[in-house]
Amino acid sequence: MYGDFFDNDQSFLSRIDDLIDFNKVDLPAIEEFPSRFINRELSWLEFNERVLEEARDSENPLFERLNFLSITGSNLDEFFMIRVASLKDQYNAGYTLPDPAGLLPEKQLEMISDRTHEMVRKQYSTLLRSIVPALEKNRIEIINPSELNPAQKDYVKRYFESTVFPVLTPLAVAAGSPFPLIANKTINLIVRVEIPTAKNQKGQRMPFAVVQIPAILPRLLQLPSEEGDGQFILLEDVVSEHINRLFSGVKIGTISCFRIMRNADLDIDDEDAADLLSEIETQVRQRRWGEVIRLEIQSGYDEEILPILTENFEISDRDLYEIPGPLDLTFLSKLPSFFKDRQDLFYPPFTPQPSPAFYGKDDYFSVIREKDVILNHPYEDFDTVIELIRRAAEDPNVLAIKQTLYRVGGQSPIITSLADAAIRGKQVLVLVELRARFDEENNIQWAKKLEQAGCHVIYGLVGLKTHSKITLIVRNEEDGIRRYVHLATGNYNETTAKIYTDLGLLTCSEPFGRDATDFFNMISGYSMPLSWRKLIPAPKWLRIDTLNRIEQEIKNAREGKPAAIVAKINSLVDPEIIDALYRASQAGVRITLIVRGICCLRPGIKNLSENIHVRSIVGRYLEHSRIIYFYNDGQEDLFLSSADWMPRNLDRRIELQFPVEEKSARMRVFHVLYVQLMDTDRARIMEPDGTYHRVDRRRKEAFDSQVRLCHDAIEAAASLNPEPRMMDRYIPSEVNATAVFKDDK
C-alpha cells in the first residue's frame, strides 16, 4: 500500500521530479527585495493568515470555520505575549542590532502593528459578515440583552443571582486611587458611576469601577428557546445587564468592555536558580502581571474612559485595538460542543486506526525485534505507544525505563505507567522539561508525582531546553540484555497526538540502543560522547551534520551528479542553514521544502534560489513531523527529527535527529513525503516576497494529502479486520477539521 506511488527499486528523487517544476522563467532578482531574508515575525503572521483563510473558506463546514477563527485568536494572543513582548524588551533596552532581514526592533513593531490591525479587521469581518449569518441560517444565535424575550430575561436573571453575582468583585477607583491590577487576558467591564453625595470639581474625572468577568465560569450561556437550543448570550453581557446589582444607590453611566495582553515570556536564569522547580513556579505566577503590551476595547466605548486605560497601562496608539465585536474569539471553539448531533456542520469523523504492525499481537517486543516499525499519528492511534509503556512497566523482564517528557497530556496514562514501573522496583529515569512554554504548571505537577513514586526525575541541562522525544526500555531476555527504543517527532501527549501529524520509530537495533544509553547518561550525568552511531543530537552535533550534508549535495552537483534535498519542517529561520541552501541552489541542487509555519528563506529568486520550491500545508491536522532527505549520490539518506531549522533548536535545545534505515520503514516515510508533495487542495506555494498562493486547481486534479493518509490508515486496518474497531464514516471531499495551530515551543 505505502509503495504504490513508486516501485521499491525506484529512487525517491526520480519520482518527485514529476511533481515540482524548477524550470520557471522571468524570475525576480534579489535587488527587488530589501534583504535575502524574510523577517520571522512577519512570516509567522503570514502563517496565521493561512489559518484565517480556512475560516474564510465557505467550502469548509461551519463549525470547523469557527474553530479556525478561534485558533487565529489564540495564536495572536501567544504571539503578542512572547514575540511582541520580546521585541518591546529589546526596544526598551535600546537594542540597536538589526535582525537578519535588516530590521530594528522599532521597525519590526511598526510593521507588526500594521499587519496585525489588518488581520484583526479581517477576523471580525469574517465573523460578522460571513460566519454569523451562516449560524443564523442554521438557527444558532448569540444575542444581545435587548433581544431577550421575557422567559429568557427571567432565566438570565436567575442565573446571574445564583451563579454569577456571588463571584463578582467590583473594584472602585476614585480620583487619586490606584488603578486596579488587571490580570492577563481577562475580560473586564469599566463602569462610570455617579455618586449623589460626591462633588465633582470642574475638569475632574467622574469615578469609575472595574468588574472582571470571571474566567472560571463559561463564557457562553445557553438560553431556553422555543426554536430549540440555538440561542446564547455572552457572560459579559449577562453581567452588564445586571450591573446595578453591584452598585446599589449609585447611578450607572456608560459601560465599556476591555481586555489586556501582558508580557508572558519567562525570564529564568537557571544557572543562578538554586531550585529550578521553585523558580519556575514563581515565574509562572508572576506571568499574570507582566508589562501590558496590547489593549483591546470593544467598539462603542466611552471616549472619556479610553485615556484612563491608555495612561494606566502605558499603551500607545500602535498597541490599541478597537474591536467591532466580542473580545477574545477563542470562545468560538466552545460553541460546536453544544451541537454534537449536527454532523452536517462538522467534517465527517475520522478516528485514528490501530497500527497494522501491532494489531492483534500480544507480544509487542517480538514485533519490534522482527523489524523496525513506523507509527504515523494521528492516522494511527497513539495507544500503541501508551500500551508499550504500560506493558514495559508491568513486564518482570524489563529492568529500566528512561524517557524525556516535554509536553504531557492532562490525564497522562504514560505518567501513571512510569510511576507504576518505579513502584514495581524498576529503574525509571524521567527528564521533565519544566520550561515547556505554557505547560510549566502541568509539567511541575507531573514531576512531583513521579518523584513521589520513586522515579529519578531530572529537569534538563543548564541553559538548554530538552525538546527531544525518546524512550529507552532495557529488557532482560534469553540471549541477554536488549534495548528497545522509541524515537519521535512529537510529544508524549495523547491529546495532541490526535490532532498533530507526527512520526515515530520503534527499533531494537543495537547501535540505536547504545546511542540511547549514551544519550541518557549525557543528560543525567557528566558523560559527553565523542561520537554517535545513529543519533544526531543538538546542540553540539546537529548543526554541523546538517551543514556538512548540504555541502556534500553542493559538491555532488558541481561534479555533474544528481543532487537534491527535501525537508518537511515546521519553521525555517536559521540564517546559516538558509545561506547554505542558497549556495546549494546556485550549485544546481534541487531543494523542495514543506514548511508549515515561519519561513525566512526567499524561494524562486534568480541566481539565488531558483532551484528552491517552498510549500505550506494547512489542513485538518497540524503538520508537525520533521522529515529530512538528502539524495547523497543515490544513497538517499532519510531522517526524522524533533528539531526545526531554527537557532533555538540547533543551538539552545537538546534535540535528536535519527535515520530511517529499514526498508519497509523507509517506504512508509517516503510515502508521507510524496503524498504531501502531491497535495493540490491544502498546499500553498510560497512566493519570493513571502506571500503564498494556492495551487492552480484548473491545471491539477484535486488531491488532499491528509485525506489520502486517512484512507491509507483505514485500508490498512480493514486488511486486518473487515470492521476495524476505530473506523468511522469518512467522506474525502469534505476534509480538514481543525487542530491547535501552535508551534511546539
Residues carrying an active site annotation: 467
Alpha helices in 593-645 (DSSP H): none
CB 223 within 8 A of CB 284: no
- Torsion sign, CA atoms 578, 584, 588, 592: negative
Query: Do 23 and 616 meet the contact criterion of CB atoms below 8 Å apart?
Result: no
Q: Of the candidates 493, 739, 495, which has an alpha carbon nearest to the alpha carbon of residue 622? A: 739
- Rg of the chain on CA atoms, in Å: 28
The number of beta carbons lying within 10 Å of the beta carbon of residue 698 is 5
Distances (CA, A) of 597 to 40, 116, 546: 10, 17, 20
For the chain, give the number of residues: 745
Q: Identify which of 726, 683, 487, 711 has the alpha carbon closest to the alpha carbon of residue 2.
A: 711
Q: Is 331 within 8 Å of 70 (Cβ atoms)? A: yes
Measured distance CA(125)–CA(119) in Å, rounded: 10
Q: How far is 539 from 349, CA to CA, in rounded Å? A: 41
The string over 252-279, giving b where at least 16 C-beta atoms fall within 10 Å of a residue's C-beta and e elsewhere, is: eebbbbbbbbbbbbbebebeeeeebbeb
Determine the Cα–Cα distance for residues 229 and 338; give it in Å rounded to an integer. Answer: 8
- Cell 466611552 sits on residue: 302
Amino acid at 515: D
Torsion of CA 104, 106, 112, 116, to 10 degrees: 180
